[in-house]
């Protein structure tokens, strides 16, 4: 679950199945009591219909927590923390960054750094489309060192400059689940 919509869907489906939970956070659910194999299969099937999956492997859960932490920080927070991402992830997940980085790369086939860049560019696209902030304000908001740095990464990822992207009539954004 990497969005509030996913969280809501999971909560509704658990209630429909009469499965009570003690907590429901992005990426993690704690059920009040263990479920049997039949309930687990039914839950897997329902989640799959929504493009979600039931994860029980500790490594897969940790990778999902990394994803959720990054997505929440970039897309849902008003302000980024005033530390670099490796420190932030280490503090949030209580794991050494080299462990997180290695596991993430092996599982996702992409580095955490590149994953963050992809999400920052997607957020920049969103902010450009809203047309409420200047490129300078967007670069500051997304913790780029300069507009030039944002523009270089933006062009490398999208093939367009932010200014050109702003002029395109049919702007396309990527679904966060597909990044």
d(CA 158, CA 179): 13
Tokens of 170: 């049919």
d(CA 42, CA 38): 6
Q: In this structure, are strands 28-31 and 21-25 parallel, antiparallel, or unpaired?
A: antiparallel
Average pLDDT, the chain: 89
**Confidence at 1, pLDDT banded by 50, 70, 90:** very low
Q: What is the pLDDT of residues 163-179, one digit of tens each?
A: 999 888 676 766 666 67
> Are the C-beta atoms of residues 33 and 101 closer than 8 Å to each other?
no
Q: Is the pLDDT of residue 2 over 60?
A: no
List Cβ neighbours of 51 (8 Å cut-off, separation of 6 or more). Answer: 177
Q: What is the pLDDT of residues 41-75, one digit of tens each?
A: 999 999 989 888 887 888 988 998 999 899 989 98
CB atoms within 10 A of CB 64: 19
Q: Is the pLDDT of residue 93 over 80?
A: yes
Identify which has the larger pLDDT, 116 or 58: 116
Q: Is the pLDDT of residue 125 over 50?
A: yes
Nearest in space to 71 (alpha carbons), one of 36, 19, 26: 26
* Angle of CA points 87, 146, 172, to nearest 5°: 90
Q: Is the pLDDT of residue 27 over 90?
A: no
Domains of the chain with bracketed CATH: 1-54 (no CATH), 115-178 (1.10.10.60)
* pLDDT attached to residue 147: 96
């Amino acid at each position: 679950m990497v969005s509030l919509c996913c969280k809501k869907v999971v909560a509704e489906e658990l209630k429909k199945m009469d499965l009570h939970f003690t907590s429901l956070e992005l990426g993690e659910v704690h059920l009040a009591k263990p479920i049997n194999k039949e309930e687990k299969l039914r839950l897997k099937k329902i989640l799959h219909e929504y493009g979600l999956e039931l994860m029980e492997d500790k490594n897969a859960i940790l990778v999902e927590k990394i994803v959720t932490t990054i997505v929440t920080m970039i897309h849902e927070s008003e302000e980024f923390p005033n530390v670099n991402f490796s420190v932030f992830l280490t503090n949030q997940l209580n794991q050494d960054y080299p462990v997180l980085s290695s596991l993430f790369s092996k599982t996702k086939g992409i580095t955490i750094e590149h994953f963050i860049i992809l999400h920052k560019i997607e957020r920049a696209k969103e902010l450009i489309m809203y047309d409420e902030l200047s490129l300078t304000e967007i670069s500051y908001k997304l913790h780029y060192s300069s507009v030039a740095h944002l523009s270089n990464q933006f062009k490398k990822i999208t093939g367009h400059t932010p200014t050109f992207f702003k002029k395109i009539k049919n702007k396309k954004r990527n679904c966060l689940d597909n990044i």
